[in-house]
C-alpha cells in the first residue's frame, strides 16, 4: 500500500503555485507543523529569510530537523505574537486557524507584524454551505458501540463564516486582494490512506483508548464510503473546501491624499468604494446620500460610473462581480 499523500501539503502547493514570494525579504510561516512546507519554501527561495512558528512543542522539535541557512523555527502562540513590522509577508497554509478561537486577535497580530505594503497569504477551513466531512465522525460516534465514550464530548475547533473573515480582516486594517473558496480533490488508492488525515484533526480521538482509535476511524471511513457510494477496497477522490486569502497592509496615507482601490483592471476612488459598500448592503441612493452627506443624484452618478467599470447594470450582478474580483470585503470595511 502506498504512503498516504499529505493533504495539507497538496493544498498548500495549489496556493503557492499562484504566488511569488521573491519580492519579500523576510517571511513568517504561521502554524508550520513539522516544517515540511517551510523547508520546501526555504529551498525554493534561498535569498529569503523564513521564520516558521507553531504552538506545539512536539511539532517544532520535529521541524528543527530541517537544517537550512535561511530557515529558523520557534515555539510561538499566534495569539501572543508581538513582532512589530518585522516581516514583508506572512503565510499560513496548514489550516491552523481552525484551532484558534480568538481569530480577530491573531489577524491583528499578523497586521502588526507586517511592514507597510506587506502581504498575508492564508489558507484555512471555513463554513462553506456544503456538507462537512466531519459529519462522518459524528455518525460513527452515535453508534451503540461508541456512544458511551462521547457523553462529555466537546468540539475543540472553531468554525468561521466567510463574511466574518472579511469583517475581521477589514477591522484589522487589511486590504483584501483575493478571497476565494476553493474545492480541491485528493486521489487515494485505498480508503485506509485517508484515515491518518482524519486522525490528525478529529477531536473525537482523544476520548478513545489508544487501542480503539483506529477501529473508530475505520467506522467513520465506512460511513464516508457508503455515503459517496465508493467500494471499500477501491481508489477514490476525497474532496474538501478551503478558503484562500491574499491581503495587504496598506502604506500609511496622509489625510489629504486621495485613496484609490485597485482590483485587477478595475480601480475605484474612495468615494466610489463608499458607495459600493452601502449599495451592496442594500441601501438606496437616497439612503446612501444621507449616510455620506452627499445628494442622491451624486450617488447615482457614482453608481453609473461603478456599473460602467464593472460592465453590469443590476445590484445582483455587481454583487457577483464583487465576489469574483475580490472587492466584496468593502461591504464590511468600517473605515469607509
At 87, the pLDDT band (50, 70, 90 cuts) reads: very high
Rg for the chain, CA atoms, rounded = 23
Ordered by start, the domain boundaries in the chain are 7-248, 260-332
Q: How confident is the model at residue 92 (pLDDT cuts 50, 70, 90)?
A: very high
pLDDT value, residue 149: 95
Read off the pLDDT band of 9 (50, 70, 90): confident
pLDDT of residue 254: 62
pLDDT at 141 over 50: yes
| % of residues, the chain, pLDDT over 90 | 60
- Residue of higher predicted confidence among 149 and 159: 149
The whole-angstrom distance between residue 161's C-alpha and the CA centroid of its chain comes to 11
Mean pLDDT confidence for 274-302: 92
As given in the structure block, the three cell numbers for residue 179 are 478571497
Range scoring the smallest mean pLDDT among 23-32, 112-121, 290-299: 290-299
Distance CA 71, CA 49 (A): 6
d(CA 263, CA 258): 17
Lowest mean pLDDT among 81-90, 184-193, 280-289: 184-193
The pLDDT, as a whole number, for residue 253 is: 64
**What CATH architecture is 7-248?**
3-Layer(aba) Sandwich (3.40)
pTM for this entry? 0.76
Return the number of other C-beta atoms located less than 10 Å from residue 161's C-beta: 12
Question: How confident is the model over 12-26, as a mean pLDDT?
Answer: 95
* Mean pLDDT score across all residues of the chain: 90
Instruction: Give the N- to C-terminal CA distance of the chain in Å, as an integer.
Output: 56
Percent residues over pLDDT 70 in the chain: 97
Amino acid 3: pLDDT: 39
Can you tell me the mean pLDDT for 168-192? 89
The pLDDT of residue 25 is above 60: yes
Q: Based on the number of CB atoms within 10 Å of its own CB, is 214 exposed (0-12), middle (13-18) or buried (19 or more)?
A: middle
| Separation CA 264–CA 177 (nearest Å) | 9
Residue 38, pLDDT > 50, answer yes
Q: How confident is the model at residue 2 (pLDDT cuts 50, 70, 90)?
A: very low
What pLDDT is stored for residue 256 in this prediction?
54
Phi first, then psi, for residue 14 (nearest 5°) are: -65, -45
Place of cell 457510494: 229
Domain 260-332 fold is Arc Repressor Mutant, subunit A (1.10.10)
Amino acid at each position: 500500500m502506498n504512503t498516504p499523500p499529505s493533504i495539507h501539503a497538496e493544498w498548500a502547493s495549489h496556493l503557492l503555485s499562484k504566488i511569488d514570494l521573491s519580492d519579500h525579504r523576510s517571511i513568517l510561516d504561521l502554524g508550520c507543523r513539522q516544517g515540511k512546507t517551510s523547508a520546501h519554501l526555504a529551498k525554493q527561495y534561498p535569498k529569503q529569510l523564513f521564520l516558521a512558528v507553531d504552538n506545539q512543542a512536539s511539532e517544532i522539535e520535529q521541524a528543527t530537523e530541517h537544517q537550512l541557512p535561511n530557515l529558523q523555527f520557534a515555539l510561538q502562540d499566534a495569539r501572543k505574537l508581538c513582532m512589530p513590522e518585522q516581516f514583508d509577508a506572512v503565510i499560513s497554509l496548514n489550516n491552523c486557524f481552525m484551532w484558534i478561537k480568538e481569530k480577530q486577535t491573531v489577524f491583528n497580530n499578523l497586521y502588526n507584524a507586517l511592514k507597510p505594503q506587506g502581504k498575508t497569504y492564508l489558507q484555512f477551513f471555513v463554513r462553506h454551505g456544503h456538507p462537512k466531512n466531519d459529519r462522518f465522525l459524528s455518525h460513527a460516534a452515535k453508534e451503540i458501540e461508541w456512544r458511551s465514550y462521547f457523553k462529555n464530548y466537546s468540539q475543540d475547533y472553531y468554525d468561521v463564516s466567510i463574511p466574518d473573515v472579511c469583517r475581521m480582516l477589514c477591522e484589522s486594517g487589511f486590504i483584501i486582494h483575493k478571497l476565494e473558496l476553493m474545492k480541491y480533490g485528493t486521489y487515494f488508492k485505498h480508503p485506509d490512506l485517508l484515515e491518518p488525515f482524519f486522525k490528525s484533526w478529529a477531536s473525537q480521538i482523544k476520548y478513545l483508548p489508544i487501542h480503539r482509535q483506529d477501529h473508530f476511524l475505520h467506522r467513520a471511513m465506512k460511513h464516508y464510503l457508503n455515503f459517496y457510494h465508493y467500494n471499500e477496497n477501491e481508489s477514490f477522490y476525497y474532496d474538501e473546501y478551503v478558503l484562500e486569502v491574499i491581503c495587504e497592509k496598506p502604506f500609511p496615507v496622509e489625510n489629504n491624499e486621495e485613496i484609490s482601490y485597485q482590483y485587477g483592471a478595475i480601480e475605484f476612488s474612495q468615494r466610489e468604494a463608499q458607495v459600493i459598500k452601502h449599495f451592496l448592503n442594500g441601501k438606496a441612493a437616497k439612503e446612501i446620500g444621507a449616510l455620506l452627506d452627499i445628494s442622491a443624484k451624486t450617488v447615482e452618478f457614482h453608481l453609473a460610473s461603478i456599473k460602467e467599470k464593472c460592465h453590469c447594470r443590476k445590484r445582483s450582478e455587481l454583487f457577483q462581480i464583487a465576489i469574483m474580483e475580490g472587492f466584496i470585503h468593502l461591504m464590511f470595511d468600517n473605515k469607509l
